[in-house]
Every structure is written in structure tokens, then in C-alpha cells.
Amino acid sequence: MVPFAGYEMPVQYPMGVLGEHQHTRAAAGLFDVSHMGQVILRGPKVALALEALVPVAVEGLAEGRQRYALLTNAQGGILDDLMVANRGNHLFAVLNAACKADDLAHLRAHLPGIEVIERDDRALLALQGPRAENALSALLPGVAGMRFMDVANHDWQEQEIWVSRSGYTGEDGFEISVPKARAEAFARALLAHPDVEPVGLGARDSLRLEAGLCLYGQDIDATTTPIEAGLGWAIQKVRRAGGAREGGFPGAEVVLAQLREGPERLRVGLLPEGRAPMRAGTPLYTSPEAREPVGQITSGGFGPSLGRPIAMGYLPAESTGADTEIWAELRGKRLPVRVVPLPFRPSNYRK
């Protein structure tokens, strides 16, 4: 157990990080993500109201569907990334643990007339992997009909369970909101299934890194724009230049200009040569002799599914072409690193 965002979190269980990673890719891994914030937003024209704070289209999101979103600041930087679901008479948002207090204050300060309700009476579990549907449908038969990014309510032992078909591993899977008092019983019921094993922070990090997914506070932060981070796909046409609801969010001038002209730097995938993993903070250079770094690694480690070290980081846009060779300084030595497209491993979502 280690401190993480103000909580005690498991790094690994008896199976170990490598075993948990491989089990999630082959069967189903269960993660306790109850540290994340669960928030209900309710009020008149709540979807349009939220669009004043995010560059994505919330108005028009179909009931029973959710979308990846970003809170931005006046410079176009990312305050947090989150999931937003349309649950009929309200929106439901899931926030990062380290940001949730600031996010709640930000939402309450900038959404007048909208109720912002933290549901700290509920736990959150994530069940991920190609056998996740098989395991969860044994308890909640209706989940088999859900597709990627669907949200729905299901009943288990007279408890209302909120389910989304989503996750952060690159695998098919579900995020499951459970009343806190019944969370342990529900988790144990899942773990009783032969396909399910518990998974900690170590494998959670290697799984999301292989999937090319950002970790807030490392790969994205308040100094990083969505376009620099390679997250422009999350901004729908209706919010872009010429769209019916163009801009109107904090930092729109910066973000839309970068969409039009391209950013000066970009997040890229990196394959270090050799067997030594390269961690966050490792400086990157254009040549073995260059005196000043041009970027740095933001996430890095060993990719068990690839059997080799992998990393992500930021480089000047002109150095981000596939197979560009750059150099990382590791323990006083310059080692070659190759730029590659993300993700490192194709995703297996249920479309």
C-alpha cells in the first residue's frame, strides 16, 4: 500500500504487477478506483452550461451515453480530464482524485444555477479485460447489451448499480458505481468468478501506458493544451472554428488556433533501445552532443505486452515524425530513442 492522491492504494496483490497486467489482457482485472470523484450536475440547460467550461460537445450527447471531456483554463491548459455521462435528467461526471476538490470548487464557481453534488456515498470499481463482460453479466445480465461508452442503471440485491462500458486500460470493460455500504460484497462477488483477479496501481499504470492514455499530473496538466497532448479528437466539429457552438470555453482562442495551425510541441510515443526503462522526467535531446534538452519523458516503464521499455513524452513538432531518432539521457549516458505512433498496442473496445 502506498499514498496516492490522499488515499492509501495497493501497488500490487499476490499475483504481482506483471501477472496482474497479463491477466487483465487475457481475462479480467478488478480495480478499486473509489478515490475518484463521482459528481451529479443538475439544473436548467445543464449540458449547455457545462460547455462554457469544456471544449467538447455536451449538448446533443444522447441519453445513456458518455464522453471524454477536459476542463480548460484561460491559457488553454488542462485543469483535469474527466468522463461526462447524460443520465436523462442530469449529467454524471467522474473526476480524477487529485483534482476533485479543485474541480468541484471550479464547477460551483462557474456554473450558476446548476447543482453540483458530490456522491461520496458511492464506491467505484473498474472491471477490465476481454472476459469482463462474461464476469459482470453473471451478476448484472443486462450489461451484455451495452456498447463502448454506454451508461445504464442495473439492479443487484435491491441496490442500484450505475455502469458504464468504459475504462482506462485499452481493453473492453466496465466502470461500476456501487453504494459504499455494498461495495465490498459486490467486489467479492466479482472476485469469486474464475476470470477475475484484483489489480493494483502498478499494472494500472503499465496497462494505460501501453494504450497511450494520459495520466493527469504527468502527461497532461495546466500547462498542456489538448492539442499539444494529442487530444484534439475529443473536440467535436460543433465546438471548432465554423461550428454552430464554436469556442466559448476557457482558452478557446489558444486551442482553436493550435487546431488550425498546429502546436509547437506534441505528445509522442517513444521506444527506447535496449532493456532499460526510461521514467518520467528523463530529458530528451536532438543528438548525442546537444547541450540543451528539447523535451522530456512524461511516462515510461516496461510494457509487458510488448516485452520491452516504452514511454511517452513531449517534443518540438518538427521532431515528431514516425521513426525520428532522438536521444535520452539516462544515468549520465545518451541513449537512442525512436518516435512511434500511439497507442503502442491496439485497443479492444466493444464498438
Please check whether residues 147 and 285 belong to one and the same domain.
no
Please tell me the pTM assigned to this model.
Answer: 0.97
> Residue 346's domain spans which residues?
265-351
Residue-wise pLDDT tens digits, 129-179: 999 999 999 999 999 999 999 999 999 999 999 999 999 999 999 999 999
Q: How many distinct structural domains can be found in the chain?
A: 2
What pLDDT does 248 receive? 98
Domain assignment of residue 259, yes or no: no
Please check whether residues 135 and 41 belong to one and the same domain.
yes
Please check whether residues 62 and 182 belong to one and the same domain.
yes
Distance CA 118, CA 272 (A): 42
The cell for 98 is 487529485
Please check whether residues 138 and 19 belong to one and the same domain.
yes
Please check whether residues 6 and 133 belong to one and the same domain.
yes
Please check whether residues 204 and 296 belong to one and the same domain.
no
> How far is the CA of 108 from the CAs of 50, 77, 119, in angstroms?
11, 20, 15
Distance CA 116, CA 124 (A): 19
End residue of a domain, out of 145, 175, 209:
209
Please check whether residues 60 and 199 belong to one and the same domain.
yes
Which among 264, 265, 289, 282 has a CA at the least distance from the CA of 337?
Answer: 282
What pLDDT does 282 receive? 98
Please check whether residues 272 and 135 belong to one and the same domain.
no
What pLDDT does 74 receive? 98
What pLDDT does 142 receive? 96
- Assess contact for 123 and 181: CB atoms under 8 A: no
Which among 79, 108, 111 has a CA at the least distance from the CA of 95?
Answer: 79
Domain assignment of residue 230, yes or no: no
Distance CA 119, CA 342 (A): 34
What pLDDT does 351 receive? 83
End residue of a domain, out of 193, 209, 225:
209
275: domain CATH number is: 2.40.30.110
SS in 3 state form for the chain?
A: CEEECCEEECCCCCCHHHHHHHHHHHCEEEEECCCCEEEEEECCCHHHHHCCCCCCCCCCCCCCEEEEEEEECCCCCEEEEEEEEECCCCEEEEECHHHHHHHHHHHHHHCCCCEEEECCCEEEEEEECCCHHHHHHCCCHHHHHCCCCEEEEEEECCEEEEEECCCCCCECEEEEEEEHHHHHHHHHHHHCCCCEEECCHHHHHHHHHHCCCCCECCCECCCCCCCCCCCHHHCCHHHCCCCCCCCCCCCHHHHHHHHHHCCCEEEEEEEECCCCCCCCCCEEECCCCCCCCCEEEEEEEEECCCCEEEEEEEEEHHHCCCCCEEEEEECCEEEEEEEECCCCCCCECCC
Rg of the chain in Å (alpha carbons): 20
Please check whether residues 29 and 166 belong to one and the same domain.
yes
End residue of a domain, out of 184, 209, 234:
209
Domain assignment of residue 220, yes or no: no
What pLDDT does 226 receive? 98
Please check whether residues 204 and 272 belong to one and the same domain.
no
Domain assignment of residue 311, yes or no: yes
- pLDDT under 50: residue ranges of the chain: none
